[in-house]
Structure 1
Amino acid sequence: MPTAVGRELETVLDDLLARARALDPVFGCDVADRLAAFVLRGGRRNRSRFLWWAARACGAGEALTPALLRVAAALELIQACALVHDDVMDRSALRRGGPSFHTQLEARYADRCEAPGAFGASAAVLAGDLALSWADDLVAAADLPAATRDSVLEIWGLMRTEMVAGQYLDLYTQATGTRSTTLALRTACLKTARYTVERPMALGAALAGADAATAAALGAAGRCAGVAFQLCDDLLGVFGDPEVTGKPAGDDIRAGKNTYLVALALSLAASGPDTGALRLLDRSLGDRSLTEDGLAGVREVLRATGAVARVERRIRRLTVTAERHVSRAELHGPAASTLVRLLREVASPGPGRDDGPHAVPSSPSSPSSPSAAARRPGGGR
């Protein structure tokens, strides 16, 4: 299925690139071509797979294949928008095992721009906007059944707004220093869970004409699995090996992000007898110059407070709850089993991560220590 989406992307991007190059060759080369290359070397296409298998499990036939592939391609483009913008906001130099989009443009004009960093960031914002525009155009032009078009467009609109709201909350907590486990989970739900799992599954169910009860069950399952996905990603953001994950380790700490892992560790440290742990976290969070030794100290505190173990337990509970919700849906055939497997993958260590091979660190008492798990090869934010 990811191969079919890749072919669909190649088809639609050929036309979109031709239009961009006709507008201006510099824009076409620097922005449109680079964006297309970024999209085509995507990860495991998890969002597309959730849409596809949810639709099939809800009874979608072969006649819906063109519409499913077109909306799936649009999901990959909106994912590209999110990643390009996310890397600008996080000042991240790596993505998918190579330079992030803004870093590529900074390097291209480093010898000609007075402020290559500002140029690269600004151009990357435009590239993300272009990806979003292309995604919207694909959905608007998709050959959708009249009975489902309004539902699909409503879900699509909600997903875009939720993604932006979650991204803003991420920035807000960094800027204000807010440390709240409740807000961290809310951010994870809006920023990642809904547009990664819940809304793609909802789009598939809508395209297949699923009944309200089935759509609701899939939505609840997707929300649980999507939050688990983000909690796994939070762990990887601290413990992951960049050569395996394709992204830097420690960026969330240096940026001062209010992840659930961090907020929980602060709460546990504040209520415990070791005031040194709380002081270390307070001075390390948001420290852009934090050294590798300093990051190692943060990792140790995260383990010692019990935050890592608690996050892992929450991930397992969310995965079990997701499967329970799926069992209540009216699903059909082998596609139902595939959908359950995808939910397990995205909310678990190792395979199933979406943007380069990822693995989740386990607690020190488990067979795989954080250092071992961070090296474990996995699947394809």
Structure 2
Amino acid sequence: MTSSYATPVSFVRGAVDTELTAFAAERRAELLEIGPELEPAMEALEAMLTGGKRLRPAFCYWGWRGAGGTDVPGIYTAAASLEFLQACALIHDDVIDNSDTRRGLPATHKRLEGLHRRSGWSGGGAAFGQGAAILIGDLCLAWSDQMYAASELPLKALHDGRGPFDRMRTEVMAGQYLDMLEQVRGAESVEASLRVMHYKAAKYTVERPLHLGAALAGRADDLTPVYTAYGLPLGIAFQLRDDVLGVFGDPEQTGKPAGDDLREGKRTLIVAETLERAPAADSARFRRLLGDPGLTPGDVEWMRGVTTECGALAACERRIDDYVGQAADALDSDLIDDEARRSLADLIVAATAREH
């Protein structure tokens, strides 16, 4: 059994990247056989695959190892398939939020909008970019399934893994819909924010990848409760950290303009906490500014100040600490392989670090 080195994420990342590169190269050849016009779409898809922290494959892999799985090539292929699902979710999410950037680069729909503009094609460039991005996201979803099925794991293992694999895809789409719904409802409660986080982030990012690893190793029955006790609180802590960075993060680290979540009007938990805790006049102004794409740096700085002064930022940090503690406590189980337990403990830090 191979021993881990560096961090649990970097240990998995190299093999996952190799699998993604090989699979994407095969799909690229298939697309270009259909027509050379598809090359810009494939380039946009490949750009989405090159970034990211690879957390979902890491949780899947260490879920497998925690269940006694050995270091075989097939687990990297199955784990890597989750990156295509992630690419689908991010591409569609950027269309829904009308985000300009992703990881410091133009979002997929903006990239294709630019292609339309440079080519001098007829019609609206924005509509073309959005439509093309939706199709590229759909392609990622299809290829996620194809890559999972093509891994070299035994057929019974892949069959056993189908349950968490399929539920994960259903839950992230349902969570995205709930997120959209809360936006248009103007939801401001902490409870509503937590429900969205539960399905859109916690289950999808941590819990289900762990369940998938356990199921592929034939240990779903005994390890699913343990991985849930670890995965759900860690997944919420991960999303909470992401939400805090969406307001206070350094653009050099986040790849997005400062305060971008405020311009997009995201109804995150830190926003809900701010609206509940801030004085009435500040809360009313914060509410008016939220979702204004024309927010100035001064507006963003004022909103950050309100969030800090009313105690919302500190409340979110306490929640993160509480959830991290719950996840750490769940690892105190003799059902998990020792090396995997250490790696899962390190993944708590990787998922909730103050800088991503």
Using the size of structure 2 for normalisation, the TM-score is: 0.92
Letter in 2 for 1:30: P
Pairing 1:68–2:75 present? yes
Map Cα deviations across residues 121-157 of structure 1 (whole Å, 9 max, x no partner): 1111111100000001112333333443333111111
Counterpart of 2:323 (choices 318, 321, 345) is 318
Distance 2:91 2:292 in 1: 23
Pairing 1:21–2:32 present? yes
Pairing 1:306–2:278 present? no
Change (3 A) 1:241 1:70: same
Counterpart of 2:253 (choices 244, 257, 273) is 244
Counterpart of 1:334 (choices 333, 339, 343) is 339
Partner residue, 1:9: 20
Unaligned runs of 5+ in 1: 351-357, 359-381
Partner residue, 1:49: 58
User: In the alignment, is the contact (CA less than 8 A) between 1:215 and 1:329 conserved in 2?
Assistant: no
Change (3 A) 1:37 1:281: closer
Shift of 1:254: 2.0
Q: Percent identity?
A: 40
Map Cα deviations across residues 56-103 of structure 1 (whole Å, 9 max, x no partner): 1221023xx232111112111111111111111111111122111111
Letter in 2 for 1:35: L
Distance 1:329 1:107 in 2: 54
Letter in 2 for 1:37: A
Distance 1:329 1:31 in 2: 48
Change (3 A) 1:281 1:336: same
Letter in 1 for 2:267: N
Partner residue, 2:172: 163
Distance 2:47 2:273 in 1: 39
User: In the alignment, is the contact (CA less than 8 A) between 1:229 and 1:346 conserved in 2?
Assistant: yes
Q: How does 1:69-218 map to 2 (within 5 A)?
A: 69-111=76-118, 112-113=120-121, 114-210=123-219, 212-218=221-227
Shift of 1:34: 2.5
Distance 1:336 1:277 in 2: 45
Distance 1:37 1:118 in 2: 21
Q: Pairwise CA RMSD of aligned residues?
A: 1.5
Shift of 1:13: 1.2
Change (3 A) 1:231 1:147: same
User: In the alignment, is the contact (CA less than 8 A) between 1:222 and 1:343 conserved in 2?
Assistant: no
Distance 1:278 1:329 in 2: 48
Report the number of matched residues.
343
Counterpart of 1:256 (choices 265, 276, 284) is 265
Letter in 1 for 2:27: L
Distance 2:305 2:297 in 1: 12
Shifted more, 89-98 versus 314-323: the winner is 89-98
Map Cα deviations across residues 173-208 of structure 1 (whole Å, 9 max, x no partner): 111212121110110111111111111111111112
Distance 1:199 1:220 in 2: 12
Letter in 1 for 2:25: D
User: In the alignment, is the contact (CA less than 8 A) between 2:81 and 2:148 conserved in 1?
Assistant: yes
Shift of 1:244: 2.0
Distance 2:266 2:207 in 1: 24
Counterpart of 2:353 (choices 348, 355, 363) is 348
Letter in 1 for 2:104: G
Shift of 1:211: 5.2
Using the size of structure 1 for normalisation, the TM-score is: 0.86
User: In the alignment, is the contact (CA less than 8 A) between 1:236 and 1:249 conserved in 2?
Assistant: no
Shift of 1:171: 0.9
User: In the alignment, is the contact (CA less than 8 A) between 2:149 and 2:158 conserved in 1?
Assistant: no
User: In the alignment, is the contact (CA less than 8 A) between 2:211 and 2:220 conserved in 1?
Assistant: no
Map Cα deviations across residues 267-325 of structure 1 (whole Å, 9 max, x no partner): 112xxxx3221122121112222211111111111111100000000000000100111
